[in-house]
Copies of this chain bind each other. A is one copy, B any other.
Amino acid sequence: MLTFKRLSIEDARLLIAGAAEKARDIGVPMCIAIVDESGNLIAFERMDGGKTSSVLIAQDKAYTAAAARKATHEYNAANVPGSLAFGIHTEAGGRISSVGGGLPVIVDGEVVGGIGLSSGTPQQDMDCAQAGIDYFQGKRQ
């Protein structure tokens, strides 16, 4: 039998709060998705003004980061013609994202969930995702 750790809804709210604060700082309303260690959605917020196309993109970034235990910008770096990983972004029914903005959430060396942001540039999405993780790591019990 296996035992897992997984983000709680309280943890998910901390991740969203930290990411949303950064999004307000840079003036870009975001879609923010938090998933568990298996990639299933725990919490989601579309800030007023976030893009409707980003509703799914944010979730897919979070899914990719948690389920594949890899930041989406790392897949981006590998997803170039000639690389053996090229084409990874259409796998898993198209849910694998190779666009920057998805990060795994790691506690005690274990991936316990993922965060995905979408509505800004990939770099803005990445910065806000990181801000969510930083805030969570500072506040969690």
CB <8 Å contact, B99 and A56: no
Known: A52-B39, A53-B39, A92-B53. A79 touches B69 (CB 8 A): no
Looking across the interface, which residue of chain B has its beta carbon closest to that of A12? B45
Residue A109 lies at the interface, judged by CB distance under 8 Å to chain B = no
Looking across the interface, which residue of chain B has its beta carbon closest to that of A140? B1
Could you tell me the distance in whole angstroms from the C-beta of A73 to the nearest C-beta in chain B?
Answer: 6
Known: A52-B40, A54-B68, A64-B53. A9 touches B46 (CB 8 A): yes
Indicate with 1 or 0, residue by residue over A53-76, a CB within 8 angstroms of chain B CB atoms.
111110010011001110001001
- Write out the residue numbers on chain B whose beta carbons fall within 8 Å of the beta carbon of A90: 89-90, 94
Q: A51 CA to B39 CA in the complex, in Å?
A: 10
Q: A140 CA to B2 CA in the complex, in Å?
A: 13
Which of B6, B92, B98, B123 is in CB contact (< 8 Å) with A57? B92
CB <8 Å contact, B96 and A94: no
Known: A43-B45, A81-B80, A86-B99. A112 touches B1 (CB 8 A): yes
Q: A40 CA to B86 CA in the complex, in Å?
A: 24
Q: A127 CA to B114 CA in the complex, in Å?
A: 29
- In chain A, positions 105-124 with a C-beta closer than 8 Å to chain B are 107, 112, 121-123
3 A-B pairs with least C-beta separation: A84-B122, A87-B89, A53-B67
